[in-house]
Structure 1
Amino acid sequence: MSSPRGRGRPRGGTDSRARILAAATEEFGEHGYDRATIRAIAARAGVDPALVHHYFGAKADLFAESIGVPLRPDLDVPRILEGPREEVGERIVRYVLGRLEQPDVRRRTVTVLRAALGAGPMAQPLIGFLSRELIAKVAGATGAEDGPLRANLVASQVVGMVIARYVVRLEPLASASVDEVAALIGPTLQRYLYG
């Protein structure tokens, strides 16, 4: 008969966190974001699901860490959407560019973006993550029947802006100030969201 477990931190070896990350990368790569489960990741890592939650919290947090996502728009954009409605488009552009002006964040974002565009093993899980954790939230915030399409248009504009500015380095966009870009692209996002 096993003794009852006490409250507090779940038990796990010193390498449990690394095993969980490796298992998560494999599980997300094989099954995509939507079909991968905390239980399956825990089983693959040989740990209790509670230990996965202890180290990483929610599935979105585990996914973001497993692929090194430098931005967490799934956490930040809902707060942006809560602000004054007439400024949402510009605030989204300022958020993205403000974060990407940080060299480490920019470098990691470009790496993740190139992997996704190259149809590598994490492309589909990344798309699933963004669709479920970000685009669906933006779509709901529009209050429109065609909210998913509007959210996809916002995503296409933002991804295009990031690729043109930071990957292709298209001038003069690459050297334009955040204020200039936000003033020009913000109204387009605003129209997509609420127009």
Structure 2
Amino acid sequence: MTSADRSAADAPSPAPRKKVGRRPGGADTRAAVLESARAEFAARGYEKASMRAIARGAGVDAALLHHYFGSKDRLFLAALEFPVDPEQVVAHVLGGDRGVVGERVARFVLGLWEQPAVLERLLALIRAAATTEAVAQLMREFAVGQLIGRIAAGLEVEDPELRTELMVSQIIGLAMVRYVIKVEPLASATTEELVPLLAPTFQRYLTGA
């Protein structure tokens, strides 16, 4: 072996090259996707935000977003930690006997609020929407497209959008007075006390009867 060969053999091996490419899946990846989604939704709004842009911001392939969340509305719910799945709300409004839809909705809403985690997040979103226009805009776009519009499309009454929005306004107002301002005796009233009072109003909004 020549001196040149020995020098080459003794030389340190080159450091392994770092792999370059998309971020692999995992808990950190999911957190990065949610962070990117919040930024994209805030900057562009719900309708204009794209899954590709969110994936690009997180450094992942767009297919991974569909693997984790399935769709843009599911990603939106996760990013904003929205406490209620709109599909559940729509099912409770449009499914079952329309003759008792008012009572069904009232029990569903009050039942959700009895879950501390749901109530806490819902009130946080209401407060944020009341004080931050960006959050209000996101909630407005999402609520109209994924909740109010879908309910209105299934109602067989005049002015279905207006009626649905009136019901939603009553629900949000109830949450504010009962849980934020905590006006008595409403704040301490039980579900069984409130349902008979709320049900006729919801029934009239949703069916016109």
> Is 1:100 aligned to residue 123 of structure 2?
no
Q: What is the distance in 2 between the residues matched to 1:89 and 1:141?
A: 15
Aligned Cα RMSD in Å?
Answer: 1.6
The corresponding residue for 1:17 is 30
The corresponding residue for 1:31 is 44
Structure with larger Rg: 2
> Is 1:116 aligned to residue 129 of structure 2?
yes
> Is 1:41 aligned to residue 54 of structure 2?
yes
Moved over 4 A (4+): none
Say which of 71, 75, 78 aligns to 2:90: 78
8 Å CA contact 1:12, 1:51 repeated in 2:
no
Deviation at 1:144, TM superposition (A): 2.8
8 Å CA contact 1:11, 1:51 repeated in 2:
no
Say which of 142, 146, 171 aligns to 1:158: 171
Check 1:13–1:78 CA distance in 2 against 1; reply closer, same or farther (3 A cut).
closer
TM-score normalised over the length of structure 1: 0.89
Deviation at 1:186, TM superposition (A): 1.2
User: Is the partner of 1:185 in helix, strand or coil?
Assistant: helix
Equivalent pairs, count: 185
Deviation at 1:113, TM superposition (A): 1.1
Quick one: which amino acid aligns to residue 173 of structure 1? L
Quick one: which amino acid aligns to residue 176 of structure 1? A
8 Å CA contact 2:36, 2:58 repeated in 1:
yes
> Is 1:187 aligned to residue 187 of structure 2?
no
Deviation at 1:179, TM superposition (A): 1.7
Q: What is the distance in 2 between the residues matched to 1:112 and 1:151?
A: 20
Check 1:43–1:145 CA distance in 2 against 1; reply closer, same or farther (3 A cut).
farther
- What is the identity percentage for the equivalent residue pairs of Structure 1 and Structure 2? 45
The corresponding residue for 1:139 is 152
Q: Which runs of 5+ in 2 are unaligned?
A: 1-21
TM-score normalised over the length of structure 2: 0.83
